Copies of this chain bind each other. A is one copy, B any other.
Amino acid sequence: MEGIMLKKSRQLKRLLDSKQLEFLMEAHDGLSAKIVEEANFRGIWASGLCISASLGVRDNNEASWTQVLEVVEFMSDATAIPILLDADTGYGNFNNVRRLVRKLEQRGVAGMCIEDKLFPKTNSYISSEKQPLADIDEFCGKIKAAKDSQQDIDFCTIARVEAFIVGWGLAEALRRAEAYHDAGADGILIHSKLSVPDQVLAFMKEWKDTCPVVIVPTTYYSTPSQVFAEGGVSVVIWANQLLRSSISAMQRTSVKLYKEQTLLAVEKEIVPVKEVFRLQNADELKAAELRYLPAFDSSMQSQKE
């Protein structure tokens, strides 16, 4: 939009490499993506959980990868900041990953994060400890295939380590992170579902600054960001809070309207209709109509009363 805007992938790369702690905010459709941008965040996390939930399906690859692609295309079209797509396992093997990278680049998506689970995946917060992970070599093949396929030098591939999630310890987490880094990953997302940041901080202590590390503190939400910064984390993802806040609001509004049967019950608590139009950039279209549409010839309509 501005004259000298950085390409989105370059913007994401800079976030990863930034000296200060950076934040990505979750979005799940074009509208929420726009809201994240307007709140001044510098990047968007296109959450697999939130996209599937908003579609009305489960976070188990019930939506096809092209359905997810279409969602993220709408998100990308609506915004000028970079999007990191939560691409689950890559939706198949290395070959599916190659296709995905090309499709994401075309749509202006800045990067993707793939995780070392098996297809179809289960959400990390409900997966059990018994769940098998991807074979390390097979997953490294995916990362290599992704990096070899990108045509934009700045497209980012983040490798997500699920070792802690399924019950392994630090050694396994580090072993995987190192392998993925060696395979070419631009960053490591180290995931944990404890209510404290201990696993993540233990990992950071050993990892040092081998490459940028990304975290998702959904369950250890009470940890101050200062702790992450001091631990050496590069990027923090607020991974699902917009969706969750929209659920709270929509549940409240629908229950109220059902009970009270009048819009007066909610009108004051919700944005006006014209705010919807503003978010859709309706004014740009109005201006464009003046430029591109011939003046309406009212004689084409029969006379009004």
Binds B, one of A8-16, A140-148, A206-214: A140-148
Chain B residues, CB < 8 A from A300: 132, 300
A263's partner among B130, B169, B238 (CB-CB below 8 A) is: B238
CA distance A52 to B99 in the complex (A): 14
Q: Do residues B269 and A245 form an inter-chain contact, with CB atoms below 8 A?
A: yes
Given contacts A246-B250, A249-B248, A292-B141, contact A92 B61 (CB under 8 A): yes
Q: What number of A residues sit within 8 Å (CB to CB) of B? A: 127
Query: Are A270 and B247 in contact, CB atoms less than 8 angstroms apart?
Result: yes
- The reply to whether B56 and A29 contact each other, CB–CB distance below 8 Å, is yes
Within 8 A of B (CB), among A149-169: 167-169
Q: Mark A92-135, 1 if CB is under 8 A from B, else 0.
A: 11111011001000111000000000011001011000111101
Q: Nearest chain B CB to A68's CB is how many angstroms away? A: 9
**Chain B residues within an 8 Å CB radius of A50:** 276
Q: Write out the residue numbers on chain B whose beta carbons fall within 8 Å of the beta carbon of A131.
A: 296
The reply to whether B261 and A23 contact each other, CB–CB distance below 8 Å, is yes
Q: Is A243 on the interface with B (CB-CB < 8 A)?
A: yes
Are B92 and A75 in contact (CB-based, < 8 A)?
no
Contact yes or no, A64 B65, CB < 8 A: yes
Known: A56-B77, A141-B294, A245-B249. A36 touches B168 (CB 8 A): no
- For A136, the closest partner residue in chain B by CB is B294
Q: Is A233 an interface residue (CB 8 A)?
A: no
Contacts of A212-260 to chain B: CB distance below 8 A: 217-218, 221-222, 224-225, 238, 240-255, 257-258
- B254 to A250, Cβ gap below 8 A? no
- Identify 4 new A-B residue pairs, CB closer than 8 A, beyond the known A244-B273, A247-B275: A31-B247, A56-B78, A241-B257, A242-B253
Instruction: Provide a sorted-by-A list of 5 A–B residue pairs whose CB atoms are within 8 angstroms.
Output: A31-B53, A57-B74, A95-B285, A126-B286, A225-B262
Using a CB–CB cutoff of 8 Å, the interface residues on chain A facing chain B are 23, 25, 29-36, 38-41, 49-50, 52-62, 64-67, 70, 74-75, 77-78, 91-96, 98-99, 102, 106-108, 119-120, 123, 125-126, 130-133, 135, 137-138, 141-142, 144-145, 167-169, 171-172, 217-218, 221-222, 224-225, 238, 240-255, 257-258, 261-264, 266-267, 269-277, 279-282, 285-286, 288-289, 291-294, 296, 298, 300-301, 304-305
